[in-house]
Amino acid sequence: MKSSLRGKIKKIKLLVMDVDGVLTDGRIVIDAEGKELKFFDVQDGFGLVLLRQAGIRTAVLSARSAPAVMARVTDLKIDKICQDAYPKSSAYEGLLNEWGLKDEEVCFMGDDLPDLPVLNEVGLAVAVSNAVAEVKKTADYVTEKRGGHGAVREVVEMILKVQGKWPQIVADMADSKV
């Protein structure tokens, strides 16, 4: 890993994620009753729990609104959810102001064109491996894993390892009597 990337990762205090295509695999399934279903990765979710326990905030920034997203975000105790956020840049600025953060303290994960304005502002821009070409070109880092299939966990572990927090997390898990 390049030292410039490591330097960016060390500053991260907030991980912000798009939903469709990042936290999910991008599929939107509508059942016969018109209810929307989304597919989330359990290891991504546990990674977000670990990130929060390590003192790094989390937020979701989505141009759409869906009850399934609210349920998942609530379950994971994500710090902030911004749905119906289009353009996303306004909601992103709101997060910075609310928490008194600077762009360089934020990592944003995206996959499609509506994510570009935020990716161009943050300190660490991440594209999932299944992102569109323009998003990958903008990113500081492109995940090996696909959105909804471990990409968030990959970034969480990268942040925690570079910040030196991962060994203690693993030791605490090994010692827990859960």
- Is this prediction's pTM over 0.85? yes
The tens digit of pLDDT for each residue in 90-140 reads: 999 999 999 999 999 999 999 999 999 999 999 999 999 999 999 999 999
Distance of CA 60 to the CA centre of its chain: 7
Give the pLDDT score at 71.
Answer: 87
Q: What's the pLDDT at 103?
A: 98
Q: What type of residue sits at position 70?
A: M
Average pLDDT over residues 51-67: 90
Half-sphere exposure of 73 (CA within 13 A, CB side): 23
The beta strand positions in the chain, using DSSP E, are: 14-17, 29-30, 36-37, 57-61, 80-82, 106-110, 124-127, 141-142
- Structure confidence at residue 178 as a pLDDT band (50, 70, 90): low
Q: How confident is the model at residue 70 (pLDDT cuts 50, 70, 90)?
A: confident
Confidence of residue 11 (pLDDT cuts 50, 70, 90): very high
Token match 């279903």: residue? 37
Query: Which pLDDT value is given to residue 83?
Result: 82
Whether residue 176 has pLDDT greater than 80: no
C-alpha dihedral (58, 102, 124, 27), degrees to nearest 10: 40
Give me the long-range contacts of 65-70 (CB less than 8 A, separation at least 24). 66/19, 66/36, 66/38, 67/36, 68/36, 68/37, 68/38, 69/19, 69/23, 69/38
Over residues 52-61, mean pLDDT: 95
Using one digit for the tens of pLDDT, what is the confidence trace for 147-165? 999 999 999 999 999 999 9
Q: What are the structural domains of the chain?
A: 3-175 (3.40.50.1000)
